[in-house]
């Protein structure tokens, strides 16, 4: 794991293997961002001119390496683009700094120590730079026998922050905890399904529970059958790896409110009898991203000592075809007694979530938020970088959307049209797990709403788009699992603890 330090040293005097500075566009001119004054001085005030000669424009995502001149202890300077320079009196926004730091950390793979001399106008800016660098330095190579010779950036030294300032130190500590838990989620998402299946996922949660003082309860297939969890059991019926329902809880003695987070944990989704075609199942190890995000959030809340109770419910199953698998046309009796006709076994996430939401409702939390890679329809609607938000309370949906924007996650509020509910009516059960094709993401949300306890505020995050990135890395986002929604959920927990939600 990449180490993080706050340094009082100047950019010119700190010994490091690379020195990161920011550059931006001011009209048609390239300018050096605050924090790099000493570096610019070492270039005789010509750092921007030299970078322009090398083709740098200051655009976001751009990175330019150049040898350091005499006067700097670091042998290499890395200039990262910050986009348009802010107006006079304003500062760079946190997400710009977060992405720039992430870009730098990725470019500096194989480097032992890098000093980041990006603009630190506040504790919030310091936290964003630290978080971006730690996320950008992520790498998943645990299963590679032959390494490529380059290890992730080993140490981030953050310049311009104030180690003795409580706000700056708290921001750095928070960034470290949140980034490490996002990377924990990424590791789980990237694990192959022959290594991560319901039982091993549950064991991972139990181990973390012991480390962080969390209460963990695991319901195995026998306990699920005894309890009547027909949704989870029905989805897992075709696999040799039986399902699990995991409850992982963080409690604080001064907490006055409780959040219940419910995560979809399909450790591999073949589609079941409604089998996915080739080209659509190769990345389906990521279908447990919601459960990974929930798990990571609970651990982060514990590490941060938030004055709010956070309970995670991980609905874990493997959706496989076999002679014992649920068939299209079967009727499942869900936890709580409601019956559901299964018209499509590839609409399985809502079935496991329904059982978990019903169970979570029995504890009467102040709010339930479920997180799931639930529908391809949401990806079609919002693209691959934005998650959808649905809720039974418009104000709560708006609050989550604003929180996501605050922490740098792209989201969009989505409706729950009542007229679509009737399309899930079934002649043989209380409802079906499918409705009309158009608006499939909304129908999934309407299905889940049916299982929320009366009077409980509920929101649904469909992270199918941003949970797993198949393209080239960008900013602090790697190829593979991203840890989508963890930052939003942690911030939601913080604001709930503060009484602001």
Annotated active-site positions, please? 276, 350
Asked if 271 contacts 464 with a C-beta cutoff of 8 angstroms, the reply is no
DSSP state of 180: H
| Beta strands 215-219; 113-117: pairing state | unpaired
* Structural contact between residues 159 and 116, judged by C-beta atoms closer than 8 angstroms: yes
| Spatial strand order in the sheet of 339-341 | 331-333, 339-341, 431-432
Whether 246 and 362 have beta carbons less than 8 Å apart is answered as no
The dihedral region occupied by 110, where left means phi > 0, alpha psi between -120 and 50, and beta the remainder, is left
| Distances in whole angstroms, Cα of residue 19 to Cα of each of 40, 75, 114 | 12, 8, 6
Residue 331: Cβ-neighbour burial (10 angstroms; 0-12, 13-18, 19+): middle
**Are the C-beta atoms of residues 109 and 76 closer than 8 Å to each other?**
no
Q: Are 34 and 47 in contact (CB under 8 A)?
A: no
Dist. CA 187–CA 203, nearest whole Å: 15
Are the beta carbons of 79 and 54 closer than 8 angstroms? no
Neighbours of 192 (CB within 10 A): 11
Q: Which helix H or strand E contains 457, and what residues bound it? A: strand 457-462
**CA 7 → CA 11, 36, 126, 186, 227, distances in Å?**
10, 15, 12, 29, 55
Burial of 203 (0-12, 13-18, 19+ CB in 10 A): middle
What is the C-alpha to C-alpha distance for residues 48 and 403, in angstroms, rounded to an integer?
Answer: 36
339: three-class secondary structure by DSSP: strand
Residues 372-401 as b/e (b if ≥16 CB within 10 A, e otherwise) read bbbbebbbebbeeebbbbbbbeeebbebbb
Burial class of residue 20, CB neighbours in 10 A (0-12, 13-18, 19+) = buried
CA distance 191 to 55: 39
User: Which residue has 């150049």 as its token pair?
Assistant: 66
Within 8 A by CB and 6+ apart from 240, the residues are 320
């Amino acid at each position: 794991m990449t180490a993080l330090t706050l340094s009082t040293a100047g950019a010119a005097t700190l010994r490091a293997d690379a020195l990161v500075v920011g550059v931006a566009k001011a009209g048609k001119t390239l300018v050096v961002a605050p924090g790099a004054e000493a570096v610019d001085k070492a270039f005789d005030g010509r750092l921007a001119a030299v970078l322009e000669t090398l083709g740098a424009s200051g655009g976001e995502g751009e990175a330019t390496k150049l040898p350091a001149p005499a006067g700097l202890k670091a042998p290499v300077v890395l200039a990262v683009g910050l986009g348009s320079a802010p107006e006079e009196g304003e500062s760079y926004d946190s997400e710009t700094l977060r992405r720039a730091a992430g870009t730098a950390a990725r470019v500096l793979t194989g480097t032992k120590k890098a000093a980041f001399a990006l603009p630190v106008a506040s504790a919030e800016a310091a936290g964003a730079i630290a978080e971006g660098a730690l996320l950008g330095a992520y790498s998943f190579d645990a299963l590679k026998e032959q390494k490529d010779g380059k290890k992730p950036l080993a140490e981030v030294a953050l310049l311009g922050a104030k180690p003795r300032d409580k706000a700056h130190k708290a921001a750095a500590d928070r960034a470290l905890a949140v980034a490490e838990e996002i990377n924990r989620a990424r590791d789980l998402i990237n694990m192959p399904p022959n290594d991560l299946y319901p039982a091993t996922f549950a064991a991972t949660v139990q181990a973390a529970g012991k480390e962080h003082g969390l209460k963990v309860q695991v319901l195995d297939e026998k306990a699920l059958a005894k309890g009547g969890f027909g949704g989870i059991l029905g989805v897992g019926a075709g696999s040799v790896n039986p399902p699990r329902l995991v409850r992982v809880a963080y409690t604080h003695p001064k907490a006055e409110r409780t959040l219940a987070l419910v995560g979809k944990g399909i450790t591999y989704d073949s589609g079941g009898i409604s089998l996915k075609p080739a080209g659509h199942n190769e990345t389906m190890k990521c279908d447990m991203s919601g459960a990974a995000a929930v798990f990571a959030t609970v651990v982060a809340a514990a590490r941060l000592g938030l004055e709010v109770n956070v309970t995670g419910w991980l609905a874990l199953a493997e959706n496989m075809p076999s002679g014992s698998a649920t068939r299209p046309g079967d009727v499942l009796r869900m936890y709580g007694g409601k019956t559901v006709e299964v018209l499509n076994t590839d609409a399985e996430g809502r079935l496991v979530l329904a059982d978990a939401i019903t169970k979570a409702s029995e504890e009467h939390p102040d709010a339930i938020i479920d997180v799931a890679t639930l529908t391809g329809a949401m990806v079609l609607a919002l693209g691959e970088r934005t998650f959808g938000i649905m809720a039974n309370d418009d104000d709560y949906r708006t609050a989550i959307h604003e929180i996501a924007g605050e922490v740098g996650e792209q989201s969009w509020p989505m409706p729950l049209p009542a007229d679509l509910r009737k399309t899930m009516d079934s002649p043989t059960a209380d409802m079906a797990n499918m409705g009309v094709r158009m608006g499939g993401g909304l129908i999934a949300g309407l299905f889940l709403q049916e299982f929320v306890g009366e009077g409980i505020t509920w929101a649904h995050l469909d992270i199918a788009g941003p949970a797993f990135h198949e393209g080239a890395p960008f900013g602090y986002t790697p190829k593979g699992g991203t840890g989508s929604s963890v930052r939003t959920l942690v911030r939601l927990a913080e604001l709930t603890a503060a009484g602001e939600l």
